[in-house]
Amino acid sequence: MNQFQEIYANRHDYARAWKARTGGKVLGYIETYMPEELVYAAGALPVRLLARHAADDVTDRQMHGNCYATKDMLRQFIQGEYGYIDGLVHAEGCQWAFHCYQNIINNRPDFFNHYVFVPDYPDARTSKNALRSEMEVFKTHLEQWTGTEITLSAIDRAIDIYNQNRGLLRRLYELRKADFPVVRGSEAMEIMLACQVMDKAEANEKLEAFLEEAETRAPGEDAVRIMLIGSETWDAELEKLIESLGGNVVIDELDNGSSYFWNEVVWQKDRYMALARRYLERPHHPVKDNNWRRRPEHIFRLYEDWQADCAVIAKQIYCHPHGTDNYVVWKLLRERHIPYHFFERDTTLPKAETSTRIESLVSMVKPGVNRISGINKVGMFSSVIPSEPREATR
Amino acid sequence: MTKQLWETRPLEIWQRAKELRAQWEHSIEEKDKLVGQGQTYAGDWSACFPAIRVIEDNPVGAKMASDSDEFSRICRLAMESRGWGREICGYHLNCWGAQFLGHQRDGSGFPYRDFVVPFPDVCDQHAKRGQQPMDLSPIPRWQGDYPMYIGPRDAAREEALVDHRVYCLQKELNDIERVFDQKFDDGRYARLIRERSIQHGYMSEVLFLMANVPTPISVKDLYSFYTMGGLTKLAPEVVTDFFRALRDEIKWRADNQIAAVGNERYRWMEVHPPAWHYLRYYRYMEQYGAVCIGSPYTHAGGGAQVEQKPDGTWGSRETVEYPEDTPMLTREDVTRIALTPDARAPYHFKIDEYLRPQSLIEFARFYKCDGALLPIWRGGVGCDMWRKEQARRLKEAGVSVMHYEGSQPGDRTDLDEHGFLDRLDIWMESQGLEKLV
């Protein structure tokens, strides 16, 4: 288990230890549209709320029929698992997350809370002005809460650290472009998730070390290369299952995956505008992908660039953003003859059913997979040359 | 047979409403107009273009479910088999399923839209309205936005948000002019916005009169009128006349204790839209002398939102508007006034549930409701917001509550109709009420 896996597995302990060490406040958030840089500049620790599977007999009256992941976040608050969190921010993404946010603050009226309006129409000329204004309001609210003035240099430092993190995560993903990736999909996802609950400066140090080590690893297994598309995720169970069946998730189009780090803050004199543009210009969440329709082409580009063999679309039950946008992804994949498998899940992953389905997909795709096993290709992203050239799958 | 408690008589305005409705239905058959998908949320601006009409998929989808269970099921299946979520709201699934099939229930071709103007809303699914017609046919789409935040109004914060809304609406109007070569009548739009304010005044009077015992109009009747000037698009002056006449008649009925339901002895409220294909439960409840007063859904649209003032009296909630004499000299002036200086306006029922969690209790108290029938719709984001928690609060306030579950108001799949009526019987009997007839 690497350090990120440990932190991800013990994320509550990590945050408590961070608080004890720094005396700072921890701010929870649900959607990855939350401008973490401002929170970091205020000296607080932004922590993404992660769902998990647990028996739930406390949220039904407040979130009946909602997506299970957001229900579970509320459950964790009610049952005290998130007792160390001092406040909550909702940056507008999906409405289930909004419900979750609202219900948490109903249960915790003493909480610091803030809502960041993120336009659903990110391409409008005025969207950046609206979000820029929201950034400034958020900054003021954060200052009142923490009692700390958020200086320009603190924002710049936060932007630098976050941009560095994005660059490192991009390097991590680039490793997965190799024919025989040295980093498995599950490992990458656990690193992603750990980064979303960690102090980014610390995460960057650990990532640097991890990447140095990973780049010296022997090439990984030959596996069917899979692209993962769909609702946000909170664990790497699906990636592990896929790996156990001869597949490997080499790329994803998830809000908590590649979309989380895809673009950096481009420096400009008006820092709030720079931040606003970063969040508006990131790969679009399905709800925010409307008039200009950037999402399907972005998916295809990822698929091509990471040389995936097929796609898995995993939608959370009740996920309305993806439930109203999937048809265009299916259409794209069908038109371009890309094999895919669609299934629904909640915070659990039914192993037997999902195994059967993924196994079928892998078995279907594998005979048609074309691999070049020449030595130079194998070593594309690795300084280690494999001892024996690998057999092409077929 | 129990003796009737109140005098009742049919509404005289019925015939006029039917004629206006027929007039609108005839108008949407006109072939020489461009058809937009969406809703004209800042006044019916489509009336200010010479040849444009705008249709929303919500009523289309609801009507499809009501007209034919079989065809709407086929439509929903067509959607699910192409990637749409099975729990997505039935308005979408019915209406756009027919686009995949390429035909309507009567075999006629699917009426493709010429452009899309979705209704900005806090609801995700509203934000995605009309995405499919744009994706699957080469038509333009103009997205609006619904700024939202929690807490008291912050005018300084809203400046950029209001500008954003005004920009989105102006872009729609300017682009439609350019793309379709149709001149927008700004003068007419200004008149329309003034008329809208008068219409809202009449409508809110009608809705507040429902606090009378007996109520002069039930929500079942109200559903036939409340879309006039909104979804049922008519000339603004006609709509104003209609609402004035409606207000006059309802006021007369209230003054003279003319009841919507002659045996009114129990008043209940709701929250969200009902099962549109199964409105007969309102009549069924009349057998118990029970009348539905409406819901924040029906009343918010008419501007009848109440609050208890610090001195204990009830009154209309204050809204933020530009002064009445604000000049409307440019298109921007009119769009600003149409959208109001309040970025989160209008405070419709979904927004209210976030910003004013006590609004259901206020509604129950003001309208003297004995019970609340709260649907739990699974197919709509926001449609089941803390429904059981609200039930708990209502019960604490002395209001009896019953839930029923279904897919969504425009989807028949999961509503057990017989079971629903049985539960209504049990609910009424548990409160000591028996059928009067």
Interface contact A57, partner B, CB < 8 A: no
pLDDT tens per residue, range B259-302: 999 999 999 999 989 999 999 999 999 999 999 999 999 998 77
Distance, CA of B433 to CA of A73 (rounded, Å) = 42
pLDDT level of residue A391 (50, 70, 90 thresholds) = low
Residue-level pLDDT at A40:
98
Residue-level pLDDT at B386:
86
DSSP secondary structure of B91-127 = HHHHHHHHHHHTB-TTSPBP---SEEE----SSHHHH
Average pLDDT, chain B: 92
Query: Three-state DSSP class for A359?
Result: helix
Longest alpha-carbon distance in chain A: 63
Q: Please give the ipTM for the structure prediction.
A: 0.94
Distance, CA of B298 to CA of A282 (rounded, Å) = 39
| Contacts with A63 (C-beta within 8 Å, 6 or more apart), sequence order | A70, A71, A74, A99, A100, A103, B386
Residue-level pLDDT at A375:
54
Residue-level pLDDT at B31:
72
Q: Which of A271-280, A365-374, B63-72, B359-368 has the lowest mean pLDDT?
A: A365-374
B144 with A121: Cβ contact below 8 A = yes
Closest CB to B160: pick one of A103, A121, A129: A129
* Nearest-CA distance B357 → chain A (Å): 9
Classify burial at A212, counting beta carbons within 10 Å of its beta carbon; exposed 0-12, middle 13-18, buried 19 or more: exposed
* Nearest-CA distance B9 → chain A (Å): 41
Residue-level pLDDT at A374:
58
Closest CB to B381: pick one of A95, A124, A134: A95
B415 within some domain: yes
Distance, CA of B271 to CA of B279 (rounded, Å) = 15
Query: Three-state DSSP class for B286?
Result: helix
Chain A CA closest to residue B377: A65
Residue-level pLDDT at B104:
94
Gyration radius of chain A over CA positions: 21
pLDDT level of residue A372 (50, 70, 90 thresholds) = low
* Tokens 């289930």 sit on residue: A96
Inter-residue contact A316 to A305 (CB < 8 Å)? no
Number of domains in chain B: 1
DSSP state of B234: -
Gyration radius of chain B over CA positions: 22
How many Cα atoms sit within 13 Å of B371 on the Cβ side? 24
Interface contact A154, partner B, CB < 8 A: no
Closest CB to B389: pick one of A62, A105, A326: A62
Using an 8 Å CB-CB cutoff, list chain A residues near B123: 95
Angstrom CA distances, B114 to A186, B56, B63, B195, B257, stand at 46, 13, 22, 28, 49
pLDDT tens per residue, range B152-170: 999 999 999 999 999 999 9
Using an 8 Å CB-CB cutoff, list chain A residues near B163: 126, 129-130
Using an 8 Å CB-CB cutoff, list chain A residues near B151: 115
Inter-residue contact A264 to A286 (CB < 8 Å)? no
pLDDT level of residue A112 (50, 70, 90 thresholds) = very high
Closest CB to A115: pick one of B145, B150, B384: B150
Interface contact B114, partner A, CB < 8 A: no
Inter-residue contact A66 to B377 (CB < 8 Å)? no
Distance, CA of A355 to CA of A242 (rounded, Å) = 8
B266-269: strand order across its sheet: B290-294, B266-269, B371-377, B400-406
Q: Is the dihedral of CA A91, A94, A97, A103 positive or negative?
A: positive
Domains assigned to chain A: 2-157 (3.40.50.11890), 223-393 (3.40.50.11900)
B160 with A126: Cβ contact below 8 A = yes
Which residue pairs from B78-85 have beta carbons closer than 8 angstroms and sit at least 24 positions apart in sequence? B79/A327, B82/A327, B82/A330, B82/A331, B83/A326, B83/A327, B83/A328, B83/A329, B83/A330, B83/A331, B83/A342, B84/A323, B84/A324, B84/A326, B84/A327, B85/A315, B85/A318, B85/A319, B85/A320, B85/A322, B85/A323, B85/A324, B85/A326
Interface contact A287, partner B, CB < 8 A: yes
Percent of chain A with pLDDT over 70: 94
B25 within some domain: no
B437 within some domain: yes
- Total CB pairs under 8 A between chain A and B: 162
pLDDT of B354 above 90: no
Inter-residue contact A291 to B118 (CB < 8 Å)? no
pLDDT of B380 above 80: no
Percent of chain A with pLDDT over 90: 86
* Nearest-CA distance B87 → chain A (Å): 6
pLDDT level of residue B341 (50, 70, 90 thresholds) = very high
CA nearest to B54, candidates B130, B149, B137: B130
pLDDT of B87 above 70: yes
pLDDT of A385 above 50: no
Query: Three-state DSSP class for B9?
Result: coil
B169 within some domain: no
Distance, CA of B69 to CA of B87 (rounded, Å) = 17
Closest CB to A329: pick one of B83, B143, B386: B83
pLDDT tens per residue, range A245-268: 999 999 999 999 999 999 999 999
CA distance from start to end of chain A: 33
CA nearest to B371, candidates B281, B271, B275: B271
What mean pLDDT do residues B88-95 have? 93
Longest alpha-carbon distance in chain B: 66
pLDDT level of residue A49 (50, 70, 90 thresholds) = very high
Residue-level pLDDT at B230:
83
Using an 8 Å CB-CB cutoff, list chain A residues near B99: none
What mean pLDDT do residues B244-248 have? 97
Closest CB to A126: pick one of B123, B167, B376: B167
pLDDT level of residue B317 (50, 70, 90 thresholds) = confident
Among residues 386-425 of chain B, which lie with CB inside 8 Å of chain A?
Answer: 386-389, 391-392
* Nearest-CA distance A101 → chain B (Å): 10
Using an 8 Å CB-CB cutoff, list chain B residues near A117: 147-149, 161
Using an 8 Å CB-CB cutoff, list chain B residues near A137: 154, 157
Chain A CA closest to residue B167: A126
Q: Cα B343 vs. chain centroid, distance in angstroms?
A: 20
pLDDT tens per residue, range B97-142: 999 999 999 999 998 999 999 988 888 888 898 999 999 988 999 9
B251 within some domain: yes
Using an 8 Å CB-CB cutoff, list chain B residues near A129: 160, 163-164
Angstrom CA distances, B302 to A88, A265, B196, B200, B305, stand at 34, 45, 10, 6, 8
Average pLDDT, chain A: 93
B63 within some domain: no
What mean pLDDT do residues A365-394 have? 58
Residue-level pLDDT at A1:
59
Give me the amino acid identity at A162.
Y
Residue-level pLDDT at A392:
46
Closest CB to A117: pick one of B147, B357, B385: B147
- Give the range of the structural domain holding residue B8, as residue numbers without chain letter: 1-13+186-305+347-437
B334 within some domain: no
Q: Cα A200 vs. chain centroid, distance in angstroms?
A: 15
pLDDT tens per residue, range B4-50: 999 999 999 999 999 999 988 887 777 778 888 888 888 889 989 99
pLDDT level of residue A389 (50, 70, 90 thresholds) = very low
Interface contact B82, partner A, CB < 8 A: yes
Give the bridge partners for B411, in sequence order: B408
Among residues 68-107 of chain A, which lie with CB inside 8 Å of chain B?
Answer: 92, 94-96, 98-99, 102-103, 105-106
Using an 8 Å CB-CB cutoff, list chain A residues near B146: 120
Quick one: tokens of B243? 């609402």
Using an 8 Å CB-CB cutoff, list chain B residues near A314: none
B83 with A96: Cβ contact below 8 A = no
Q: Which of A115-129, A200-214, B50-64, B243-257 has the lowest mean pLDDT?
A: B50-64
Inter-residue contact B149 to B157 (CB < 8 Å)? yes
Interface contact B147, partner A, CB < 8 A: yes
pLDDT tens per residue, range A187-232: 999 999 999 999 999 999 999 999 999 999 999 989 999 999 999 9
* Nearest-CA distance B142 → chain A (Å): 7
B239 within some domain: yes
A232 phi-psi bin (left φ>0, alpha ψ -120 to 50, beta other): beta
Q: What sections of A249-365 are H helices per DSSP?
A: 258-261, 271-280, 295-305, 320-323, 326-335, 351-365
Inter-residue contact A25 to A87 (CB < 8 Å)? yes
What mean pLDDT do residues A169-188 have? 97
Among residues 350-379 of chain B, which lie with CB inside 8 Å of chain A?
Answer: 354, 357, 376, 378
* Most B CBs within 10 Å, among A135, A294, A324, A328, to test the B interface: A324
Classify burial at B231, counting beta carbons within 10 Å of its beta carbon; exposed 0-12, middle 13-18, buried 19 or more: middle
